[in-house]
Amino acid sequence: MTTADQDVPKPLSSADRATPQITSAAAPSALRLMLALEDFEAPAKRYIPRPIFGYVSGGVERNKSLAWNRSAFDDLALVPRMLINVSQRSQKTTLFGRTYDSPFGIAPMGGTSLARFQGDTALATAAAASNIPMILSGASLTRLEKVRAAAGATTWFQAYLPGDAQAITELVERVALAGYDTLVLTVDIPVGANRENNVRNGYNTPLRPSLRLAWDCLMRPSWLMGTALRTYITQGMPHFENMGKRTPLVSRTAVRERANRDHLNWEHVALMRRLWKGRLIIKGILDKADVPPARDNGVDGIIVSNHGGRQLDSATAPLRVLPGIVAAAGDMTIMMDSGIRRGTDVLKALALGAKFVFVGRPMLYAAAVAGETGVRHAIRLLRDEVDRDMALVGINTLADMTPERLMDARGFDGIRFPGRQT
């Protein structure tokens, strides 16, 4: 191996200097083996009971969209430039008037506090310490006021709302009162998804007490003591706190309120726009035809998303529709999620016009493995990858990450084969 092949310690980038964080070397022993976001999944699976892990990891029906979310990234190759002075590179990104230390944040995920004691707060405070946004899920088990108070302004709130003016008004007022300035409305769940994997794994919300559930929990003693019992002893029975009627997490009979989501339409977005003074973002758009109504209704940004492949199976991968949506967006901010695992994924999404991206499952797994410390480690890993990849691609700013830095991973530059479209 030549010297050039070896890992040479690099000077800290400006983003690194901004926030003191744990480094791989300083991390607790379990985290030393976590070298990439994908590494958190296996230990999380060993920690979390089977039905809950199945709920987090699963997609829907045949998991087509889940698989396409990854293959879309694999279909793009990077084309680096050489002999560019990249010593001044920075991944800082200004979004809605605030400068974050990286171009990625944490996607909203219900069930986070099922996977780890005070999981929602752990994700939010890790994001705050790393100066990236974290979106608290409307389906979370922690009161939205509590998370905002613990983590501050980097926390956004995501709502699931019925098409009902009173419910919308009440929630918008509550979110504003809690101090949030960014509200995300998720729009890709007019009805519940066909999550066969949840039925097969015995997962339900609320969880239904059963011998099978008891057995699955007993098989995970660290989780049972460290998350379930600890939560119960310190806080009592967790409830779904931020979505309609308060509903307990475990109950033989309780039913979670999901009525009238299929009524939700652009008129409700217009109502939200009138009521909500902060940034309004819509999550779950996949068709560029939905961009003009969003803009006309005063929406500030869109998260292009197929919900991590968890709603409509065979819904397209967000990366594939991103360029069209960006072209239709004008000055509206376009972000994306679904399948981001690597720094190179972040750069590919940015090259196709995303301003910012969000990461889901790996952050929840990181919380399961080591709470806030685990999430900070995961953020650090992805941040380091983005920094390293920027240097290797030959760019100093994320604005330099243009489509010219990409090519079809199976294509040959300058050569067209007869009969082949691309």
Q: Which residues bind ligand FMN (CB under 6 A)?
A: 56, 69, 107-111, 137-139, 158, 186, 283, 305, 307-308, 310, 337-340, 359-361, 364
Which two three-digit tokens encode residue 225?
A: 């003591």
Residues 295, 329: contact at Cβ < 8 Å?
yes
Whether 307 is catalytic is: yes
Q: How many CB atoms lie within 10 A of CB 308?
A: 25
Residue 229's contacts (CB-CB under 8 Å, 6 or more residues apart) are: none
Query: Measured in Å, how far apart are the chain's first and last C-alpha atoms?
Result: 38
Helix (H) or strand (E) holding 157: strand 155-159
Q: What angle do CA 161, 166, 170 make, to 5 degrees?
A: 75
Shortest Å distance, C-beta 296 to ligand FMN = 23
Shortest Å distance, C-beta 214 to ligand FMN = 22
In this complex, which beta carbon is closest to ligand FMN, that of residue 369 or of residue 395?
A: 369
Q: What residues form DSSP beta bridges with 100?
A: 93
In this complex, which beta carbon is closest to ligand FMN, that of residue 93 or of residue 186?
A: 186
Which two three-digit tokens encode residue 389?
A: 């990849």
Of the residues 239, 263, 268, 307, only one is catalytic, namely 307
Residue 120's contacts (CB-CB under 8 Å, 6 or more residues apart) are: 112, 113, 136, 137, 140, 141, 142, 147
Which two three-digit tokens encode residue 88?
A: 């001044």
Residue 114's contacts (CB-CB under 8 Å, 6 or more residues apart) are: 48, 52, 141, 227, 238, 249
Which two three-digit tokens encode residue 280?
A: 């309004």
Helix axes 50-57, 211-218, angle to 10 degrees: 90
Select from 12, 101, 84 the least CA-distant residue to 396: 84
Shortest Å distance, C-beta 18 to ligand FMN = 24
What are the strands, taking DSSP E only, across 84-142?
A: 93-95, 98-100, 104-106, 134-136
Shortest Å distance, C-beta 310 to ligand FMN = 6
Residues 50, 300: contact at Cβ < 8 Å?
no
Shortest Å distance, C-beta 419 to ligand FMN = 35
Alpha-carbon span 173 to 302, nearest angstrom? 22
Q: Which residues are catalytic?
A: 307
